[in-house]
């Protein structure tokens, strides 16, 4: 199941006892802060989660998937994410097994 912005808002609303509109405003504010900092080429570090940053990609030869003909892909910037050690450990640790009754 994909976690959507709606589900995040709903979970914040229920778990933190925050009215839905306030929860939505908080989530939107966080997303705007992240977007604005990335647009200004400033990395965003969320402790225990990871770091969002921009990476420059050089122009390179690629191919048109419809025709198969080679084409030059323009230089661009992409958002990358580097996972924190805390999250990496949590992801790589297998979940506890539950013994059947």
What 3-state class would DSSP assign to 92? helix
For the stretch 39-56, pLDDT in tens is 999 999 999 999 999 999
Q: What angle do CA 54, 57, 58 make, to 5 degrees?
A: 150
- pLDDT tens, the chain, 101 aa long: 889 999 999 999 999 999 999 999 999 999 999 999 999 999 999 999 999 999 999 999 999 999 999 999 999 999 999 999 999 999 998 776 766 65
For residue 73, the model assigns a pLDDT of 96
Rounded to the nearest 10 degrees, the angle between the axes of helix 5-15 and helix 20-39 is 130
As given in the structure block, the two tokens for residue 89 are: 């450990």
43-87, CATH topology level:
HU Protein; Chain A (4.10.520)
For the stretch 57-68, pLDDT in tens is 999 999 999 999
Alpha helices by DSSP H, listed for the chain, are 5-15, 20-39, 85-92
């Amino acid at each position: 199941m994909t976690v959507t912005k709606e589900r995040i808002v709903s979970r914040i609303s229920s778990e933190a006892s925050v009215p839905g509109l306030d929860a939505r405003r908080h989530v939107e504010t966080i997303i705007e802060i992240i977007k604005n900092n990335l647009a200004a080429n400033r990395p965003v570090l969320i402790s225990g989660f990871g770091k969002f940053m921009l990476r420059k990609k050089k122009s390179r030869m690629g191919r048109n998937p419809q025709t198969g003909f080679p084409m030059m892909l323009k230089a661009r910037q992409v958002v990358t994410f580097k996972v924190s050690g805390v999250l990496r450990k949590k992801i790589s640790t297998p979940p506890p097994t539950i013994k059947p009754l």
